[in-house]
Amino acid sequence: MISGDKDKNYSEVLATSKDWDARKLPYRFIDVPGMAHTNASPEKLEEALHWVGL
């Protein structure tokens, strides 16, 4: 998950992230300060793709 504090769904993303972490699921939240409900930057997308093994 890639999101930021300007995203309209940010509070839901945080809640879901905490729940997934508590359940020890393979999950990573890339929190980008100032990011709104937009596409991730190429750098953050690359970080996410690297995490999933691509």
- Rounded to two decimals, the pTM is 0.83
33 close to 2: Cβ distance less than 8 angstroms: no
Structural domain containing residue 35:
2-51
**Beta carbons within 10 angstroms of residue 2's beta carbon:** 19
pLDDT tens for each residue of 3-51: 999 999 999 999 999 999 999 999 999 999 999 999 999 999 999 999 9
pLDDT value of position 42: 97
pLDDT value of position 6: 97
pLDDT value of position 20: 94
Domain count, the chain: 1
pLDDT value of position 1: 92
23 close to 37: Cβ distance less than 8 angstroms: no
